[in-house]
Amino acid sequence: MINHVRELRTERGWSQADLAERLDVSRQTVNAIETGKYDPSLPLAFKIARLFALSIETIFEPGD
């Protein structure tokens, strides 16, 4: 899955630690999502979408 979490985060000037705190997850989890090493669960994806005030499909796209 492709995601735009890193771009959205940097646009807002947040560090990975800032985003992790807002999502109540570890910085490692944010890093793993941004680098595509981990696909978040649906509840976490909704949480990310709510935080950025975007729809899930705007942030996450199916990969090849």
Indicate whether 10 belongs to the interface with another protein (CB under 8 A): no
Site string for another protein, 38-57 (x = CB under 8 A): x-xx--x-------------
Rounded distance between C-alpha atoms, residue 47 and residue 45, angstroms? 5
Rounded distance between C-alpha atoms, residue 56 and residue 58, angstroms? 5
Cβ atoms within 10 Å, residue 58 = 12
Nearest approach, Cβ of 27 to another protein (angstroms)? 7
Residues in touch with another protein (CB under 8 A):
24-29, 31-32, 35, 37-38, 40-41, 44
